[in-house]
Amino acid sequence: MTHAHRAWLLAGAIGLASAAPSAAAEPVNGRLVYTSFESSADPLAGDLWTMNADGTDKQQAVFDPAYDAQPDWSPDGTRIAFRNRRNSRFESAILDFRVRDAAGRPVVTDIPHAGDGTQTTQPSWFPNGQGLLYRRTTTAPPTRSDVWAMNLDGTNRRPVVVLPEDQFYPSFSPDMRTVLFSTVKGADARNIQAMDVATGAITTLFDHSPRSYDSAPAWSPDGRQIAFESDLDGDREIYVMNADGSNVRQLTHNGNWEEGPAWSPDGTRLAFTRALSNTDYNVWTMAPDGTDQRQLTTYAGRDESPDWGRNPGPGTVGGTVPATLALSLDGAASFGTFTPGLDREYTVSARATVTSTAGSATLSVSDPGHLENGTYHLPQALRVEMTPATWTGPVSNTTVTLTFRQAIARTDALRTGTYTKTLTFTLTTTDP
């Protein structure tokens, strides 16, 4: 008797992460990153700095004479994608806090530049952390800007949004179904648009006048709201609207210049830049309704373009387990010799091994039917028993005893030769 078996591998992952040593949950909101000109000898070049959510513990993160700007935290709070200007061209790089150099500084890895000579700016992480959207700009006049995507190593560059007008500040919605961006509509004028990824349909979400400047849109963590900057009231202020463009609310009300809103990971605060003059910019935060405005930086120069990272947790270590159902059989089982003319039940056992990461699993066998010998078959059906055959949690290399029973009556005619049957064993789950 020979046995075939079928093992199913289910797509997906089960997250395993270490628990914090404290009974209290770690805060979701981590540090803010921003561009500061305080540490740069070049008045036209800034460096990336980070700080706590209350403005304390300011630390320089990137030490580079080039202009580092447009930072965007990775979804897990461990890396920052940003724009720099090396070799007289705008490119993007990734700052990794998990890796340190000999001086103890986080390591910066430049993303290889595009082979076609275009520039890579305004990088924005995929919500799953597997790639970046970016603004792709041609260098030969007249320059053109579109929304493209790429892998983290700069490979697989491909267009995402290509329109007759230029696009700025692209980002995916948290569910990656919509791309949000700002579009140029004339001299120093922009509106806010979104593209449905599945259909390519473009929707204008906010455009209050033909010469309005509506830009820098930012998704809330739950994808239900969008913060943005606009000159709707005559100067640049921060606004919030629903994801469909409805229910627009003005959050800041003053004669200053506010720009570049960024949500906290838990959605309870907004960071933004407030400019008192062309040379005096600082980072502020506020509640999503515009109340409780707090100044975080006080440098009498330019601190700007904040982004808010998730707290990666102290010493976090984790891993993933691929959702797996694995079944193996020891091999063929044999009843031995069938003796004609006797009432007898023949029994033989075999072993199977099951590994399952599912919440539950069931082992079944195809209809055993009858053992066959050419055109002949035994009158009585083969019976198969499996112990155990169900599991209510994950198991690893668990042994299953397979018992095969074949009854033969003394009046059953047996043909010379070998009786066999191929069986299919299937391991399944409804709770991967």
- Residues listed for the chain: 432
> Long-range contacts for 66-70 (Cβ within 8 Å, ≥24 apart)?
67/42, 68/35, 69/35, 69/305, 70/35, 70/121, 70/122, 70/123, 70/305
In sequence order, which residues have a C-beta less than 8 Å from that of residue 22 and are 6 or more positions away?
Answer: none
Q: Can you read off the two tokens belonging to residue 355? A: 């590994």
> What pLDDT is stored for residue 218 in this prediction?
98
Average of pLDDT values for 399-412?
95
> What pLDDT is stored for residue 314 in this prediction?
60
Residue 190: its H or E element: strand 189-196
> What pLDDT is stored for residue 431 in this prediction?
84
pLDDT for 224 beyond 90: yes
Q: What is the pLDDT of residues 329-370, one digit of tens each?
A: 887 889 999 999 999 999 999 999 999 998 899 999 988 899
Eight-class DSSP state of 12: E
- pLDDT band of residue 315 (cuts 50, 70, 90) is low
Average of pLDDT values for 280-290?
96
Radius of gyration for the alpha carbons in the chain, expressed in angstroms and rounded:
32
Average of pLDDT values for 285-293?
97
Tell how far CA 340 is from the center of its chain.
66
Q: Can you read off the two tokens belonging to residue 344? A: 């007898």
Q: What is the pLDDT of residues 371-396, one digit of tens each?
A: 999 999 999 999 999 999 999 999 99
Contact 108, 91 (CB under 8 A): no
Q: Can you read off the two tokens belonging to residue 26? A: 């770690």
- pLDDT band of residue 73 (cuts 50, 70, 90) is very high
β-bridge mates for residue 226, sequence order: 219, 241
> What pLDDT is stored for residue 10 in this prediction?
25
Alpha-carbon distance of 103 to 57, in angstroms, equals 19
Measured torsion, CA atoms of residues 226, 232, 237, 238, in degrees rounded to the nearest 10: -10
Q: What is the pLDDT of residues 97-114, one digit of tens each?
A: 999 988 889 999 999 999
β-bridge mates for residue 406, sequence order: 346
* Residue 147 vs residue 333, higher pLDDT: 147
Domains and CATH numbers, the chain: 3-14+320-428 (2.60.40), 25-310 (2.120.10.30)
Give residue 185's identity as a one-letter amino acid code. K
Average of pLDDT values for 38-59?
88
Report the candidate in 133, 129, 140 with the shortest Cα–Cα distance to residue 167: 133
pLDDT for 88 beyond 70: yes
Residue 405: its H or E element: strand 395-408
Phi, psi of 350 (to 5 degrees): -145, 170
